[in-house]
Chain A
Amino acid sequence: MFDDRYTLAYRLYPYARHADQDKDTPVRHPVVVMGGGPVGVATALDLGAQGIPCVVLDDHEGVGMGSRAICFAKRTLEIANRYGAGKPMVEKGVVWNLGKVFHKDDKVFEFNLLPEEGHEFPAFINLQQPYFESFMIERLYEMQKQGAPVEIRGKNRVDSVTVKDDHVVLEVMTPDGPYTMEADWLIGCDGANSPLRTMLGHDFTGKVFKDSFLIADIKMINDDFPTERWFWFEPTSSSGASILLHRQPDNVWRVDFQIGWDVDRKEEMKEENIRKRLDAFLGEDVDYEMVWSSIYTFQCKRMEKFRHGPVIFAGDAAHQVSPFGARGANSGMQDIDNLGWKLGLVINGQAPESLLDSYNTERVHGADENILNSTRATDFITPKSETSHIFRNAVLELSEHYEFARPLVNSGRLSLPCVYDGSPLNSADGLPHGPERTRPGAPCPDAPCPDATPGEGFLLPKLGGTFTLLTLNAEAPEGFEESGVAVTRLALNTADDKTGALAARYLGEAKSAVYLIRPDQHVAARRENFDENLFRAALRRATGKE
């Protein structure tokens, strides 16, 4: 009656009968999250940190085996750090900067991500998804111990949902049988095949790619490959049309073979056949153990709207991308970063419900950007016509000798946070000569933070969670309140930052600057000096009141 659909790596939230199941009338919760994947758990962490009650329901009792995602971007780590789960991820993860691109047998070129100095977190880490999820779930339990009103219920499967005007009724199945619960808000984080989407009849449209990929995660026994990302186009070992080799923690490497559309999955998944491919690729003398393998196909799709009244979709349930560019889990984390504070303000009566429509506007924009990038990478890796294949190979051939062609090689444009240009929450740029990268709508880049121990302190941990008035070499009051929403000032002087990075990132040509920063660390407004009326207006605008 209650079978697992996948094997667990860690049984972190075993089923336990809840008092809700014995009530005669269904219990109403402010927020219920359907799905305890990375995005659902992030929702609980975001709301929990705000003191807003949140129940996560998952149809399993923990984290699934096997790593789908392995590549987590800086922005994800910054968000996780705001939730108190970022540091263990970096400690466990593998930091990499060097990538090599091969065509046939030749190395075409190599690149270095050359991380910019003055950021707390690296550009990327590789980390198995089960670890990533476990760190967040551990954090959830820690928050719970500290009194945050959040919980996750294992083996609680949502079987049906009825949407009312101002709430949602859920039928939940458990090993002890069904029970009913209600939610003011239901957040659908139930993954790419979202049963919730199907229950409510919402469509999910886009492109399906006619190719499949075989993943083999292997543990090296007698050999060591460097901590680099290696990508082969048309390797002569003919073990795949392309191959990706990338290191993960625990001496595990991901090998990803492009194997074509018309394959016999069952045959391909036999260990002996996977080993054949691996041996052809690695050479007979390399010893390894198989850790996990899987075949995946992919699509780039999204829902037309992410908000449907009291039901809000996030993560893979709302949008799906190809894995090239690592934009799946990374964009799901940005969804919650965006949604969390808005939902918090609405629930606390500090902002109108319409603020939630800006979640839709901003994250649909983000999803489109991710889909565009991942579609382009996919078209490069799996050319869809003879001509596109000819051009693809021409780019690779030229790259070996001529630098100009290298930026055209696309084996995945790695995930960067989205700038919410044109968002209704932005105020007009009052610092036109300020840096592009910190214009209204942009996520704040990290920078050394001068008031802390030299080399230790960073800006981002001092922002976020609530609205901040960041002043650089400028006067302003210590804070203000505007229609129920408080802003606190963070006063910095760029002369204190000897590296100059803070000034370069936030001042540009300007002598001083004042920024209004949203709880998700995106810029809402900026000017050269503080102007009370304008910043009050900017705050009203950023909270959906103008």
Chain B
Amino acid sequence: MSTVTLTPNIAGGDDFYEELLNAHEGLSKEDSDSYNARLILILANHIGDRAVLSDAITAAKRKG
């Protein structure tokens, strides 16, 4: 069964993180929220694999 990757997997992590924050730059809280929702849906569709998605949904519940 496929599982979600929880080890480093993005080359240039700092770049990615900055790009993500930049995308939110200047957006109101409301627009940011809806941007995030669209982004999650696009990424989820890209992953596609239902088992991985369920795994990710569970993994994100942990807060430290």
Asked whether, in the complex, the Cβ of B34 is within 8 Å of the Cβ of A405, the reply is: no
Asked whether, in the complex, the Cβ of A398 is within 8 Å of the Cβ of B42, the reply is: yes
State in angstroms the CA–CA spacing of A495 and B1 once bound together.
42
B37 at the interface (CB under 8 A from A): yes
Asked whether, in the complex, the Cβ of A398 is within 8 Å of the Cβ of B41, the reply is: yes
Instruction: Determine the chain A residues whose CB is within 8 A of the CB of B40 once the complex forms.
Output: 394
A390 at the interface (CB under 8 A from B): yes
Nearest CB in chain B: distance from A295 CB, A: 31
Nearest CB in chain A: distance from B39 CB, A: 9
Asked whether, in the complex, the Cβ of A393 is within 8 Å of the Cβ of B34, the reply is: yes
Asked whether, in the complex, the Cβ of B42 is within 8 Å of the Cβ of A390, the reply is: no
A395 at the interface (CB under 8 A from B): yes
A391 at the interface (CB under 8 A from B): yes
Q: Which of B22-64 contact A (CB under 8 A)?
A: 33-34, 37-38, 40-42, 45
Asked whether, in the complex, the Cβ of B45 is within 8 Å of the Cβ of A394, the reply is: no
State in angstroms the CA–CA spacing of A405 and B40 once bound together.
12
State in angstroms the CA–CA spacing of A474 and B29 once bound together.
67
Instruction: Determine the chain A residues whose CB is within 8 A of the CB of B37 once the complex forms.
Output: 390-391, 393-394
A279 at the interface (CB under 8 A from B): no
State in angstroms the CA–CA spacing of A402 and B34 once bound together.
16
- The majority secondary structure among interface residues of chain A is helix
Nearest CB in chain B: distance from A388 CB, A: 10
Nearest CB in chain B: distance from A44 CB, A: 45
Asked whether, in the complex, the Cβ of B42 is within 8 Å of the Cβ of A397, the reply is: no
Interface centre among A390, A394, A395, by most chain B C-beta atoms within 10 angstroms, is: A394
Asked whether, in the complex, the Cβ of B34 is within 8 Å of the Cβ of A395, the reply is: no
A225 at the interface (CB under 8 A from B): no
Instruction: Determine the chain A residues whose CB is within 8 A of the CB of B38 once the complex forms.
Output: 394, 397-398
Asked whether, in the complex, the Cβ of A404 is within 8 Å of the Cβ of B45, the reply is: yes
Nearest CB in chain A: distance from B22 CB, A: 20
Asked whether, in the complex, the Cβ of B45 is within 8 Å of the Cβ of A390, the reply is: no
Q: Mark B10-31, 1 if CB is under 8 A from A, else 0.
A: 0000000000000000000000
Asked whether, in the complex, the Cβ of A395 is within 8 Å of the Cβ of B33, the reply is: no
Instruction: Determine the chain B residues whose CB is within 8 A of the CB of A408 once the complex forms.
Output: 41
Instruction: Determine the chain B residues whose CB is within 8 A of the CB of A397 once the complex forms.
Output: 34, 38
Asked whether, in the complex, the Cβ of B34 is within 8 Å of the Cβ of A390, the reply is: yes
Instruction: Determine the chain B residues whose CB is within 8 A of the CB of A391 once the complex forms.
Output: 37, 41
State in angstroms the CA–CA spacing of A398 and B40 once bound together.
11
State in angstroms the CA–CA spacing of A423 and B52 once bound together.
31
Nearest CB in chain A: distance from B49 CB, A: 14
Nearest CB in chain A: distance from B8 CB, A: 27
Asked whether, in the complex, the Cβ of A405 is within 8 Å of the Cβ of B33, the reply is: no
State in angstroms the CA–CA spacing of A395 and B42 once bound together.
10
Instruction: Determine the chain B residues whose CB is within 8 A of the CB of A405 once the complex forms.
Output: 41, 45
Interface centre among A390, A393, A408, by most chain B C-beta atoms within 10 angstroms, is: A390
Nearest CB in chain B: distance from A465 CB, A: 41
Instruction: Determine the chain A residues whose CB is within 8 A of the CB of B33 once the complex forms.
Output: 390
Nearest CB in chain A: distance from B32 CB, A: 10
Q: For residue A394, which residue of chain B has the nearest CB?
A: B37
Nearest CB in chain A: distance from B60 CB, A: 14
Q: Mark A379-402, 1 if CB is under 8 A from B, else 0.
A: 000000000001101110110001
State in angstroms the CA–CA spacing of A397 and B45 once bound together.
15
State in angstroms the CA–CA spacing of A78 and B32 once bound together.
50
Instruction: Determine the chain A residues whose CB is within 8 A of the CB of B34 once the complex forms.
Output: 390, 393-394, 397
State in angstroms the CA–CA spacing of A404 and B45 once bound together.
7
State in angstroms the CA–CA spacing of A13 and B40 once bound together.
58
State in angstroms the CA–CA spacing of A394 and B40 once bound together.
10
State in angstroms the CA–CA spacing of A212 and B38 once bound together.
29
Instruction: Determine the chain A residues whose CB is within 8 A of the CB of B42 once the complex forms.
Output: 398, 402, 404
Q: Which of A359-417 contact B (CB under 8 A)?
A: 390-391, 393-395, 397-398, 402, 404-405, 408
State in angstroms the CA–CA spacing of A394 and B37 once bound together.
6
Nearest CB in chain A: distance from B57 CB, A: 13
Nearest CB in chain B: distance from A405 CB, A: 6
State in angstroms the CA–CA spacing of A402 and B42 once bound together.
9
Instruction: Determine the chain B residues whose CB is within 8 A of the CB of A398 once the complex forms.
Output: 38, 41-42
State in angstroms the CA–CA spacing of A390 and B42 once bound together.
14
Nearest CB in chain B: distance from A279 CB, A: 31
Nearest CB in chain A: distance from B45 CB, A: 5
State in angstroms the CA–CA spacing of A395 and B44 once bound together.
12
Q: For residue B46, which residue of chain A has the nearest CB?
A: A404
Instruction: Determine the chain B residues whose CB is within 8 A of the CB of A404 once the complex forms.
Output: 42, 45
State in angstroms the CA–CA spacing of A390 and B33 once bound together.
7
* Known interface pairs A390-B33, A397-B34; 14 further A-B residue pairs with C-beta atoms within 8 A, sorted by A's residue number: A390-B34, A390-B37, A391-B37, A393-B34, A393-B37, A394-B34, A394-B40, A394-B41, A398-B38, A398-B41, A398-B42, A402-B42, A404-B45, A408-B41
Chain A residues near B (Cβ < 8 Å): 390-391, 393-395, 397-398, 402, 404-405, 408
Task: List 9 A-B residue pairs with CB atoms under 8 Å apart, sorted by A's residue number.
Answer: A390-B34, A391-B37, A394-B34, A395-B41, A397-B34, A397-B38, A402-B42, A405-B41, A408-B41
Interchain residue pairs A-B with the least CB separation, the first 4: A394-B37, A404-B45, A394-B38, A390-B37
